[in-house]
Amino acid sequence: MNESDPIRALIDAGRIDEAVAQVEDGARAGDPASLWRLADWRLFGLYGPQDFGAAHMALAAAAAKGLAKAGRARAYLIAAGIGCAPDFEGAVAMLRAVDDAESREQLALLEVSPGFSEAMGAPRTILSERPLIVRITGFASAEECDYLAMRSADALQPALVVDPVTGDGKPDPVRRSDAMSILALDEDLVVHNLNRRIAAATGTSTRQGEPLNVLRYAPGQEFRRHHDAYAGVPGPTQRILTVLVWLNDGYSGGETVFTELGLRVAGRKGDALVFRNTLDDGRRDERGWHAGAPVGSGEKWLASRWIRAGVYTPE
């Protein structure tokens, strides 16, 4: 029995109709916690249909009652264009209106982070023409890098690889690091701003990106030689591009090594590496095999985003 959360307790007991009725009654009465729960259910289509409009309305009502996290969540939906046209400036204005400690932190970070258009102006070095491998200097601000590492630290788990047969994640000696993914609805405006920049730098849409991963390699940990694209038939799920953002300095080893090209790249905090995994016809480019070399001393922190040929996060 879940004493602290009676709705959860009803659901766990299989009394779904009662739980739904209580949440709907609470929402109608303007109870912020019920509105928040209803928004979550409508966003994910739990205990009723997926309905982004209803989620927006519930979040707006909860925010009007003073629930700051509802205002922040709605700002993210507006930035990402979930249930509405994307409007980054409108989302920033909404965040400003929320004015709690977390929204102020996000706004301060947005102030010191490169914007969407500045992504195109950052200095680029072409490390390889085919496959295309480009290093972008100063892609992320130091503050953004610290923020990503800080907000991911608690959620880091041993990294998994996708089992090609079952599609499930499983531990594998290929990948020895800790990792976490920032799923779409856990994004905030700071993360979304980075994802927008990644989209701009690769000429893709944010919807093509898989969730941003944050990786932490301890001494001796590595990501052994692998390919980010799938070997099979090209299609919308193919991972056409990868973007890595180095989140820290101060470790030895840990270079990103393109084994077929004899190319070793040592990252600097805030720099990004963009590489194409596929040929023009969408098949895997066999020259794109790569590894994260073992870290010697210190910890290596990295953000990575795999970008698909088609939409990954549907609206």
Ligand X SMILES: O=C(O)CCC(=O)C(=O)O
Q: Which residues make up the interface to Fe ion (CB under 5 A)?
A: 228
Question: Min. distance of Cβ 241 from Fe ion in angstroms?
Answer: 11
Say which residues have a Cβ less than 8 Å from residue 221's Cβ, sequence separation at least 6. Answer: 176, 177, 294, 295
Record the tokens describing residue 247, joined without a space. 């989140």
Give the residue with the Cβ less far from ligand X, 147 or 223. Answer: 223
Least Å distance, CB 295 to ligand X, is 9
Our CB check for ligand X shows the closer of 122 and 161 to be 161
Q: How far is the CB of 292 from ligand X (least distance, A)?
A: 2
Got the DSSP string for 260-305? TTTEEE---TT-EEEEE-B-TTSSB-GGG-EEEPPB-SS-EEEEEE
Give the other-Cβ count within 10 Å of 11's Cβ. 18
Interacting partner of 193 out of Fe ion, ligand X, none (Cβ under 5 to 8 A depending on kind): none
Q: Name residue 157's beta-bridge partners.
A: 179
Which of 90, 43, 36, 21 minimizes the C-alpha distance to 66? 36
Tell me the closest approach of the beta carbon of residue 1 to ligand X, in angstroms: 42
Nearest residue (CB) to ligand X, 36 versus 139: 139
Helix (H) or strand (E) holding 180: strand 178-182
Closest distance to Fe ion from the beta carbon of 220 (Å): 19
**Angstrom distance (rounded) from CA 170 to CA 167:** 9
- Looking up tokens 């309305």 gives 57
DSSP state of 309: S
> In residues, how long is the chain?
315
Residues 6+ apart with CB under 8 A from 204: 241, 307
Return the number of the residue (188 or 228) whose C-beta is nearest Fe ion: 228
Give the residue with the Cβ less far from Fe ion, 95 or 257.
Answer: 257
Residue 187: which of ligand X, Fe ion, none does it interact with, CB under 5 to 8 A by kind? Answer: none
The smaller minimum CB distance to ligand X, of residues 75 and 257, is found at 257
Interface with ligand X by CB under 6 A: which residues? Answer: 223, 228, 242, 244, 256, 290, 292, 302, 304
| DSSP secondary structure of 126-167 | EEETTTTEEEETT-S-HHHHHHHHHHHGGG-EE--EE-TTT-
Provide the 8-state DSSP code for 213: E
DSSP letter at 226 equals E
CB of 206 to ligand X, least distance (A): 18
Residue nearest to ligand X (CB): 292
Query: Hey, is 113 helix, strand or coil?
Result: coil
As measured in angstroms, the least distance from the Cβ of 290 to ligand X is: 6
From the list Fe ion, ligand X, none, which binds 292 (C-beta under 5 to 8 Å, kind-based)? ligand X
Structure tokens at 12: 């766990």
Nearer to Fe ion, 228 or 299 (CB): 228
**187 or 228: whose CB is closer to ligand X?**
228
Q: What, of ligand X, Fe ion, none, does residue 302 touch, CB below 5 to 8 Å by kind? A: ligand X
Smallest gap from residue 244 Cβ to ligand X (A): 6
**199: partner contacted, choices ligand X, Fe ion, none (Cβ within 5-8 A by kind):** none
